[in-house]
Amino acid sequence: MPGRCEWSSSDATPTGTPPSKIIAVHLNYPSRAAERGRVPSQPSYFLKPPSSLAGTGDHIVRPAGCELLGFEGEIALVIGSRAQRVSPEDGWSHVRWVTAANDAGVYDLRYADRGSNLRSKGADGFTPLGPRLLDARQVDPDALRLRTWVNDELVQDDITDTLLFPFGQLVADLSRLVTLEAGDVILTGTPAGASVVKPGDMVEIEVTAGELSTGRLRNRVSQGEALAMYGAMPKADPAERESAYGSAYVPEPVLDPRLADGLRSVAVATLSAQLRARGLPHMSIDGVRHVGPRGEAMVGVAHTLRYLPLREDLFKRYGTGMNAQKRAIEELRPGHVLVMDARRDETAGTLGDILALRARKRGAAGVVTDGAVRDSAAIAQLGLPVYAAGSHPSVLGRRHVPWDTGVPIACSGALVQPGDLIVGDADGVIVVPPDLVEELIADSREQERQERFIAEQVAVGASVDGLYPLGPAWQDAYKNWCKGESQ
């Protein structure tokens, strides 16, 4: 077919000339940026060694001990002529071929070379290309379609008309400092849907331009041998699993649902009384009120964010970009309650509707701040329990700078450690030490059972003397009442 040529892994490289480098773009498709929860202002890159090249039919080998082998369907550009300090308008003219690629990698090793991705992305066979090359002069770079199938199921389908960084811009940006030579390969990013595959799975990727097609790049995943012990070994944690699985990831809640239901079944006032009986009278987060209409009780595990007083010379460093405030939101897992130490300052916002929406999308159980929130009317409609000391229209930078996350904080005077349990209802918010939760639930239920009995007696005219709290004279009557309640 005109406009394409064949290539297989038996060839030296797609162009017959060994590439001096393979350059991969981190984020480029809006759909993938939405999955990741961030939109970069400029492209960023990493290198893959030429030894990682493979062709259609080759196996992608997952080392033994790894569980997170990720596939990423991508469009690969093969440079045809030397590019050095070219303009975005001229960038595309230096591309000779377009083909399908799989930017494979094992997330289990990402920690070892974070940023460079050498071990996680650079293994032999982790960059399959092909099977055919499309002539770049015969295709519209803004009208290419990329599709990926796993075991015959379509999992990625996107086009290049809305890329964050068009292909010509990528070539120009790289050529400002890095000379691109003929045969060099640029992997241009993956759309939403990239996830994890396992041995036995078949990954197929195709790039089309109208009637022109690269054909399907087919690579089966196979199980490899274990890595030798003299170096970093595979390991996976919840954060890496989430990154690897992408939109397919369904994380486990951070709080046992049984304990969450138990805490939700009793009132904050009852928990407060039980904590005080145990010598813990200062566990309430005072001065915070529910934003919007009262709803279901808030129960979750504390994830903390600390603000410090504003210092103008440090704000650009700590307050802009992916600052601690945004990191805290992106670190949330299902069942987390984001608890903020805003120094009890109600004259500055610590959360707006966009970040509150993102917290809800992340599965947060709620937010507590001893500062103010902005966009309070919009927050009230999100269905996310939010407790704040007040409302204020200011944006970040008026009184605070977000400093760090995951540290012990003082929220309205109460000490909150990451991992503490946070419970809120119409009466307020309380901190529950996790090692006490089982007995607190049991004793709180018993207390509320006694209070139901007491309320019934008061309702028919009984005096509270000796009844509230339940005294010896009422014990037999209470036991009989309990028997009736259990029937």
Quick one: 217 and 316 in the same domain?
no
Give the span between the Cα atoms of 421 and 435, in whole angstroms. 10
Contacts with 169 (C-beta within 8 Å, 6 or more apart), sequence order: 43, 88, 91
Q: How many separate domains does the chain show? A: 3
Of 346, 351, 376, nearest to 364 (Cα)? 351
> Residue 204 belongs to a domain with what CATH number?
3.90.850.10
Contacts with 386 (C-beta within 8 Å, 6 or more apart), sequence order: 290, 291, 292, 351, 356, 366, 367, 368, 369, 373, 379, 380
Give the span between the Cα atoms of 198 and 223, in whole angstroms. 8
Q: Is 152 annotated as a binding residue?
A: no
Which three-class secondary structure state does DSSP give residue 99? Answer: strand
Quick one: 443 and 387 in the same domain?
no
Q: Look-up: residue for tokens 């701040």? A: 369
Q: Which residues pair with 219 in a beta bridge?
A: 203
Give the span between the Cα atoms of 368 and 123, in whole angstroms. 45
Give the span between the Cα atoms of 122 and 113, in whole angstroms. 11
Give the span between the Cα atoms of 187 and 23, in whole angstroms. 6
Quick one: 124 and 31 in the same domain?
yes
Q: Is 383 within 8 Å of 367 (Cβ atoms)?
A: no
Give the span between the Cα atoms of 72 and 196, in whole angstroms. 9
Give the span between the Cα atoms of 103 and 25, in whole angstroms. 10
pLDDT at 305: 96
Angle of CA points 351, 353, 355, to nearest 5°: 60
Contacts with 414 (C-beta within 8 Å, 6 or more apart), sequence order: 282, 283, 284, 285, 286, 431
Q: Which H or E run contains 340?
A: strand 336-341
pLDDT at 35: 78
pLDDT at 330: 84
Q: Is 163 annotated as a binding residue?
A: no
> Residue 343 belongs to a domain with what CATH number?
3.50.30.40
Two tokens, residue 423: 């419970």
Q: Which H or E run contains 98?
A: strand 95-102
Two tokens, residue 476: 């037999």
Quick one: 195 and 293 in the same domain?
no
Quick one: 266 and 215 in the same domain?
no
Give the span between the Cα atoms of 288 and 211, in whole angstroms. 62
DSSP states of 377-436: HHHHTTT--EEEEEE--PPTTSSEEEEEESS-EEETTEEE-TT-EEEEETTEEEEE-GGG
Q: Which of 230, 248, 266 is the last residue of a domain?
A: 248
pLDDT at 1: 36
Q: Look-up: residue for tokens 């964050």? A: 164
Quick one: 48 and 162 in the same domain?
yes
Quick one: 182 and 265 in the same domain?
no
Give the span between the Cα atoms of 220 and 198, in whole angstroms. 9
Quick one: 263 and 226 in the same domain?
no
Q: Is 210 annotated as a binding residue?
A: no
Which three-class secondary structure state does DSSP give residue 45? Answer: strand
Q: Is 124 annotated as a binding residue?
A: no
Q: Which H or E run contains 337?
A: strand 336-341
Q: Which domain holds residue 470?
A: 439-486
Q: Is 60 annotated as a binding residue?
A: no
Quick one: 423 and 451 in the same domain?
no
Residue-wise pLDDT tens for the chain (487 aa)?
344 455 554 454 555 667 999 999 999 999 888 877 778 899 999 999 999 999 999 999 999 999 999 999 999 999 999 999 999 999 999 999 999 999 999 999 888 887 788 989 999 999 999 999 999 999 999 999 999 999 999 999 999 999 999 999 999 999 999 999 999 999 999 999 999 999 999 999 999 999 999 999 999 999 988 888 878 888 887 778 777 777 666 666 789 999 999 999 999 999 999 999 999 999 999 999 999 877 778 999 999 999 999 999 998 888 888 788 998 998 888 899 999 999 999 999 999 999 999 999 888 999 999 999 999 999 999 999 999 999 999 988 889 999 999 899 999 999 999 999 999 999 999 999 999 999 999 999 999 999 999 999 999 999 999 999 999 999 999 999 998 876 6
Quick one: 388 and 451 in the same domain?
no
Two tokens, residue 9: 């892994």
Residue 471 vs residues 448, 452, 454, 468, 476: alpha-carbon distances, Å? 15, 15, 11, 7, 10
Cβ neighbours, 10 Å, residue 26:
15
Q: Which of 248, 270, 301 is the last residue of a domain?
A: 248
Handedness of CA 108, 109, 115, 121 (dihedral sign): negative
Quick one: 218 and 319 in the same domain?
no
Of 328, 286, 271, nearest to 304 (Cα)? 328
Q: Which of 248, 273, 288 is the last residue of a domain?
A: 248
Q: Is 110 annotated as a binding residue?
A: no
Cβ neighbours, 10 Å, residue 48:
24
Quick one: 428 and 448 in the same domain?
no
Contacts with 355 (C-beta within 8 Å, 6 or more apart), sequence order: 325, 326, 329
- For residue 53, the 8-state DSSP code is E
Tell me the residue type at 440: L
Q: Is 236 within 8 Å of 108 (Cβ atoms)?
A: yes
Q: Is 391 exposed, middle or buried (0-12, 13-18, 19+ CB in 10 A)?
A: middle
Give the span between the Cα atoms of 131 and 112, in whole angstroms. 32
Of 389, 448, 420, 405, nearest to 283 (Cα)? 420
Percent helix, strand and coil across the chain, each to the nearest 5:
30, 30, 40
